[in-house]
Structure 1
Amino acid sequence: MMLSRRRFLGYGGAGMLAIAAGCRPANLNLLPSEDDVAALKRLPLTDRMQLAKLKNNLLGYPINMNTPPEAFFAWRKQLNEAGIGMFAFNNVGNPFKESPIPYNTHDFEREVIQRFGKRYAFPSDDTWGFLSHSGTDSNMHGMYMGRTILKGRTGRLPKAYFTKEAHYSVQILRDLLGLETVFVDTLPDGGMDPNDLAQKLAANRSQPALVIATIGTTFKGAVDSIDRIQDALQGHPSYVHLDAALFGGYLPFTPHADEVAYRLPGKPAPRYDSIAVSCHKFLGFPAPAGLFITTQSHFDEFNALFTRIHNPEYIHHVPGTITCSRDSVKPAEFYFFSTPEAMAQMTEDAQAMLQNTDYFLQQMQSQFPKLDAVRANALSNTIYFKNPGDRIVKKYSLATMHLEIERQPQDYAHAVVMPHVNRQVIDAFMIDLKSASVNL
């Protein structure tokens, strides 16, 4: 993958102009003082290096700890040589509109959204989005867009419908947006109960519904059924935002891709309105970032309402994003993950990851039946089980929660089988479990 000559000259020329204009710090070439050298030696870099060697022990949280391939770092170097990251680029505003600041990477950002939009079965001529700061940032934009559109259509604020299994950020964002919450009951596996949703919609007919459906709940790895949610919503003004932070990263690369498809083949009705996916989870981007994808038509409806509270004159257009200045380096770097080569690797990783999840569950159930290991569904890479003790929790950074299973309160932990969790890591975990307590 190479930068085109035109794009390179555009970025590289900008970088040279910046230096020629006197932007280079005057003391750039000064050698560090003795005090500076002493301060550097005091930094805990050795400790961090040791910690980096143990990165594959991270089992409790959905972060892909694999190091990206050398080609990614070569791409980073090309971007650096072109000036991206060398001075202040800014992706302010709508990446599908011309920016008044020429030092941006909107072109990379648009291509990323189009390529991933295709993975989620958005129409090629009706796709809009941007690269956000994180999955939570993407959820914020989805919920704000839903709130704005529904209020514009009905004149009334919607109520927010989600389950207590949803990510904690949803509750924070609901509070931030000033929305009343309607908690929907869950099925035994932790997914949203569509029958309870229907009953609660009936009890709140006067207000529209902003439904936040979760594809891969935070602790149990349950999947809310989008199609059954849509059945329950028939006739009720609604907007469905999909929090697919983890599962939305890998499901498009598996036979289960339909679970996160905006539209199914042969069925014209859309299944949801917007989607949030984290880039640093399965996709493996080495810093927090998120995808937010919706339709251009939804964005246009939202932006017409957004215009009433935003003066577009300063940046020559209504930005369509809550955040103003946005990182330009991340979209350019993340472009690497939208290439055919990267997506081919993701397909291999997704297959291996689900196979390793099968193996993890088999080993837990056969070797440690008293821990009652559970996998919510075959789509999930998450396994939860009774808390095995502080030593294991700390060594493997396991997430823990107090749950009530079949009316029995119990402390649980979970493991998330990410691409770095291979069978050697799983086997080592089993050995540690066996040595941790004779009561397991």
Structure 2
Amino acid sequence: MLTRRRFLGYSAAGFLAATAGCRPANLKWFSDLQEEPANTRLSLTDKTRLAELKNRFLGYPVNMNTPPEAFFAWRHQLFEAGIDRFAYNNVGNPFQPSPIPYNTHDFERETILRFGELFAFSPGNIWGFLSHSGTDSNMHGMYMGRTLLKGRTGETPKAYFTKESHYSIQILADLLGLERIMVDTLPDSGMDPDDLGQKLADNPNHPALVVATTGTTFKGGIDWLDPIQKALQGYPSYLHLDAALFGGYLPHTTYAGEVLHASETNPTIGRYDSIAVSCHKFFGFPSPAGLFITTESNFNEFNELYSQIHSPEYIGHVPGTITCSRDGVKPAEFYFFSSPSAWAKQTEDAQAVLQNADYLIGEMQSHFADLLPQRANALSNTVYFKKPDDWIVEKYSLATMQLEIDGMKEHYAHVVVMPHADRKVLTEFLTDLDRTG
């Protein structure tokens, strides 16, 4: 038996030697590392080269700028305080006491409250948490909507969204056992409220779980909230807003109204029930995470129904989240991005993103009209166009899809103008396009 005394007496090498007979033969970490041929080892030179080329990453919605030094100083302060030195776990509801003292619920709670107020949720009526990703936030929104609507009506809702929404919505609808109703889109790729109204009328016996997208994945389209809400009048419904990318920058622009929870005409009425925003897209947070924000009143009603599904005795309260253990480090780190100074930088980045998107679509329409460049709306940082030569797709990591436009199927690519995509990079991209002419 390996006693505590014997364990403490082993050095690392001695412990490995003592337990060598218990290890599978294929786990030869140290010997393999020493014997590995130099030309097959992980090349730091290649990694350095990739880091140098990161500003050319134009095809996907990720901010490749390195966070400011103040962020890493904040990380260091957290580390000095013990966070990330051993297991931190944000299990359960961050607005309730946790049985696990090693958590960062205070940072998580404050972050949600700050962003909730930024999105114009009523103070005192905000609930949420930091999720594993934007998809995780969407899952919680759709699950909450399904639970509430079934609890209110006794019927399982049907899920309404468009083909332009993120592919995860299709997966989540399947995971949650929801019948999918595909709503037509307008020429700008946003949800057609008239078609939504017709399909709601075709399914009068089921409540509606509507997933609206502010910034569709490929075209950057917007499912405009106010016409959707008008179509939903008279129907039991829950409206979840997937604002993974646009929800990061729109609050800092003159277009903030498209993601605000409060109605301009009646601030006491919410324009949606919950919102998902990705932390690793616009903000430049260096690992996947997501914000999920809803009202406290929605949460309390949901939690009452949720408490009937399982026993919360183990953690002392109904958690309100699908996942049990949650990362306790990321909420403390992402708290940095909710400070006034961080918001000032986000405002600067948001303005640059839209100005550079203006520049790119203007230049492409002037000089590369044959590629049929399009931008769905003035709020979008996405420009899509007929797919250029493969070497350009590879150089700039462009995402490509086959689209049907005006009855014609053609392969398209897009550029998502993120904070790192400055005029220098965009001009290089335009110059490369010109070389293909």
TM-score range, shorter chain: over 0.9
The Cα of 1:427 is off from its aligned counterpart by 0.5
* Cα deviation 1:273-307 (Å, max 9, x = unaligned): 00000001111111110000000110011110000
Which amino acid in 2 is paired with 1:333? Answer: E
Equivalent position SS for 2:12:
coil
Which deviates further from its counterpart, 258-267 or 112-121?
258-267
The structure-2 alpha-carbon separation of the partners of 1:322 and 1:25, relative to structure 1 and needing over 3 Å to count, comes to: farther
Give me the whole-angstrom Cα distance separating, in 2, the residues matched to 1:25 and 1:276: 49
The structure-2 alpha-carbon separation of the partners of 1:25 and 1:401, relative to structure 1 and needing over 3 Å to count, comes to: farther
Which amino acid in 2 is paired with 1:411? Answer: H
- Superposition map of 1:214-253 within 5 A: 214-253=213-252
The Cα of 1:26 is off from its aligned counterpart by 5.7
Q: Does 1:330 align with 2:330?
A: yes
* Cα deviation 1:364-422 (Å, max 9, x = unaligned): 11111101100000000000000012111111111111111111111110000000000
Give me the whole-angstrom Cα distance separating, in 1, the residues matched to 2:77 and 2:163: 45
- Superposition map of 1:176-191 within 5 A: 176-191=175-190
Give me the whole-angstrom Cα distance separating, in 2, the residues matched to 1:28 and 1:294: 51
Q: Does 1:171 align with 2:183?
A: no
Give me the whole-angstrom Cα distance separating, in 2, the residues matched to 1:318 and 1:25: 44
Q: Report what 1:402 is aligned to.
A: 402
Write out the 4+ residue segments of structure 1 that deviate beyond 6 Å after TM superposition: 22-25, 32-35
Q: Report what 1:264 is aligned to.
A: 263
Q: Report what 2:317 is aligned to.
A: 317
Q: Report what 1:285 is aligned to.
A: 285
Q: Report what 2:426 is aligned to.
A: 426
Give me the whole-angstrom Cα distance separating, in 2, the residues matched to 1:235 and 1:24: 72
* Cα deviation 1:352-371 (Å, max 9, x = unaligned): 11000000111111111101
Equivalent position SS for 1:348:
helix
Give me the whole-angstrom Cα distance separating, in 2, the residues matched to 1:51 and 1:361: 27
- Superposition map of 1:21-420 within 5 A: 27=12, 36=33, 42-267=41-266, 268-420=268-420
The Cα of 1:432 is off from its aligned counterpart by 1.0
Structure 1 stretches lacking a partner, 5+ long: 1-21
Give me the whole-angstrom Cα distance separating, in 2, the residues matched to 1:285 and 1:173: 25
Which amino acid in 1 is paired with 2:165? Answer: A
The Cα of 1:434 is off from its aligned counterpart by 1.4
The Cα of 1:36 is off from its aligned counterpart by 4.7
Give me the whole-angstrom Cα distance separating, in 2, the residues matched to 1:406 and 1:23: 72
Give me the whole-angstrom Cα distance separating, in 2, the residues matched to 1:25 and 1:59: 51
The Cα of 1:49 is off from its aligned counterpart by 1.3
Which deviates further from its counterpart, 86-95 or 33-42?
33-42
In the alignment of these two chains, the number of paired residues is: 415
Which amino acid in 2 is paired with 1:167? Answer: H
What TM-score comes out, normalization by structure 2 length? 0.92
The structure-2 alpha-carbon separation of the partners of 1:264 and 1:29, relative to structure 1 and needing over 3 Å to count, comes to: farther
Give me the whole-angstrom Cα distance separating, in 2, the residues matched to 1:45 and 1:317: 47
Structure 2 stretches lacking a partner, 5+ long: 1-6, 16-28
The structure-2 alpha-carbon separation of the partners of 1:163 and 1:33, relative to structure 1 and needing over 3 Å to count, comes to: closer
Equivalent position SS for 1:403:
strand
Equivalent position SS for 1:235:
coil
Which amino acid in 2 is paired with 1:408? Answer: M
Equivalent position SS for 2:307:
helix
Give me the whole-angstrom Cα distance separating, in 1, the residues matched to 2:431 and 2:9: 55
Which amino acid in 1 is paired with 2:91? Answer: V
The structure-2 alpha-carbon separation of the partners of 1:33 and 1:271, relative to structure 1 and needing over 3 Å to count, comes to: closer
The Cα of 1:23 is off from its aligned counterpart by 10
Give me the whole-angstrom Cα distance separating, in 2, the residues matched to 1:74 and 1:28: 34
Give me the whole-angstrom Cα distance separating, in 2, the residues matched to 1:159 and 1:125: 31
Which amino acid in 2 is paired with 1:64? Answer: N
Give me the whole-angstrom Cα distance separating, in 2, the residues matched to 1:340 and 1:131: 19
Which amino acid in 1 is paired with 2:145? Answer: G
Which amino acid in 2 is paired with 1:170? Answer: I
The structure-2 alpha-carbon separation of the partners of 1:35 and 1:234, relative to structure 1 and needing over 3 Å to count, comes to: closer
Give me the whole-angstrom Cα distance separating, in 2, the residues matched to 1:318 and 1:24: 44
Give me the whole-angstrom Cα distance separating, in 1, the residues matched to 2:359 and 2:200: 41
* Cα deviation 1:141-171 (Å, max 9, x = unaligned): 0000000000000000000000000000000
The structure-2 alpha-carbon separation of the partners of 1:29 and 1:292, relative to structure 1 and needing over 3 Å to count, comes to: farther
* Cα deviation 1:202-230 (Å, max 9, x = unaligned): 01000000000000011110100111000
Which amino acid in 2 is paired with 1:185? Answer: D
Equivalent position SS for 1:308:
coil
Which amino acid in 1 is paired with 2:12? Answer: N
Give me the whole-angstrom Cα distance separating, in 1, the residues matched to 2:9 and 2:256: 49
| Identity %, equivalent residues | 67
The Cα of 1:266 is off from its aligned counterpart by 4.5
